Amino acid sequence: MPRPQKHSFPEPRLVTETDDLAETTDRLRSEPFVAVDTEFMRERTYWPELCLVQIAGAEEVVLIDPLAPGLDLAPLATLFDDETTIKVFHAARQDLEIFLYLFGRVPVPIFDTQIAAMVAGYGDQVGYDNLVGALTGASIDKSHRFTDWSVRPLSAAQLTYAAADVTHLRIVYQALVEQLEKEKRTSWVAAEQEALADPSGLTADPLKQWEKLKARTGNRRMLGILKQITAWRETEAQTANVPRQRMLKDESLLEIAATVPRTAEALARVRGVARGFAEGRMGAGLLASVAAACELPESELPRPARGKGHDGPRPPQALVALLKVLLTHQCEKNDVAPKLVASSDDLDAFALLPDPQGPLLTGWRREVFGSEALALYEGKLSLGVEGGRVRLIRTGD
């Protein structure tokens, strides 16, 4: 891995006026890449409230204040739309969600150093602090990690802290690109970046939120009610811009799905539901969702996830266990993070029936793991131990 080095960076500059932002982004568009980070607040809202955008170019570090009176962020959108300049993030998902909400689209093209680090052998979801330390020898100041970024004016210490993330990120990006090119893994990262930038994966689907509550039941009617009322909560929270848990907690939704209240009086008896809520507009909407779910035909009710109450096929657990061992072995051999190669759901699906077009048998994952997993599934490969290490044994070995 690259030898850690220390670097010096230009002083950050705060941008609060549209003309300054336009001139700055025009300059940055001439660069091959820029490092980007954000500071935001989300404790009081459903949608993240953008408080600061940090961008580092080769010769300047700018801190853009979205809360500055009269500032138009359109020039920033123009920079993000420029396909000749790569936008470098670390753990980009939340940043991309912010810009998708703000501009209606995500920056292009992007490079996520967390994904790249997983491909380069730095472990599962490596933290930014650790990655900076490994690649630059610097340490990250954590003193303002939990500051309220919506309060103005921002202090000099806050601005210095915010700028540090993107200045180090430039060096991290360059080191990772050099390593990935040397190891011929650039295409691996490109495939993952493309999937990350898909807007459909950045927004919460109201009709899928019920799955996150992990209801321990095989009662499909209850699951149908849970699906409907969880979708109702998600939509209302988005519209009102209120955190979903502040609107109605998960525990209350699970109790509603189990007890099926049909009146405001019954709804008010649910733990966590205030009488004012139950008797008002929100309560009426929630009860309407319960009633609609009760009328759904059996064919439209969701099926439980694998586990308790699941009536679908279950993967052979012994085979899944062997696949996990093989995954660990192959990822150690190739120095890549297992979580990036295959999830538990991927292994379960593969154990039931390998899909030739599935994620494990296409692209770079087939090279790292999929081909060997298929050989194991087909009985052409077995696992043994030699000298305290896992050994792959081919048929006839």
Judged against a pLDDT cut of 60, whether residue 82 lies above it is answered with: yes
In the prediction, which pLDDT does 312 show?
63
Average pLDDT over the chain reads: 93
Of 5-19, 91-105, 272-286, least confident by mean pLDDT is 5-19
Average pLDDT for residues 349-370, to the nearest whole number? 96
Going from the C-alpha of 370 to that of each of 16, 216, 331, the distances in angstroms are 51, 33, 11
Judged against a pLDDT cut of 90, whether residue 140 lies above it is answered with: no
| Tokens, residue 314 | 């279950």
Average pLDDT for residues 291-306, to the nearest whole number? 92
| Tokens, residue 279 | 């008797």
d(CA 170, CA 346): 34
For 305-355, what is each residue's pLDDT tens digit? Answer: 765 445 568 899 999 999 999 999 999 999 999 999 999 999 999 999 999
- 187 membership: H or E segment, kind and range: helix 186-196
- Cα angle: 259, vertex 263, 265; to 5 degrees: 90
Share of the chain above pLDDT 90, in %: 86
d(CA 137, CA 302): 51
Judged against a pLDDT cut of 80, whether residue 77 lies above it is answered with: yes
Of 101-110, 134-143, 144-153, least confident by mean pLDDT is 134-143
In the prediction, which pLDDT does 309 show?
45
Average pLDDT for residues 79-88, to the nearest whole number? 98
Indicate the burial class of 200 (C-beta count within 10 angstroms; 0-12, 13-18, 19 or more). exposed
In the prediction, which pLDDT does 276 show?
97
Judged against a pLDDT cut of 80, whether residue 386 lies above it is answered with: yes
Q: Which residues contact 270 (CB under 8 A, 6 or more apart)?
A: 252, 255, 256, 259, 261, 278
- The alpha carbon of residue 53 and the mean position of all alpha carbons in its chain are separated, in whole angstroms, by 19
Q: Assign residue 290 a region: left if phi > 0, alpha if psi is -120 to 50, beta otherwise?
A: alpha
d(CA 350, CA 361): 10
* Dihedral sign from CA coordinates of 333, 338, 340, 342: positive
Average pLDDT for residues 35-43, to the nearest whole number? 95
Determine the straight-line distance between the first and last CA of the chain, rounded to whole angstroms. Answer: 35
Confidence band for 11, pLDDT divided at 50, 70 and 90: confident
Share of the chain above pLDDT 70, in %: 95
Judged against a pLDDT cut of 70, whether residue 113 lies above it is answered with: yes
Tokens 């340490």, located at residue: 139
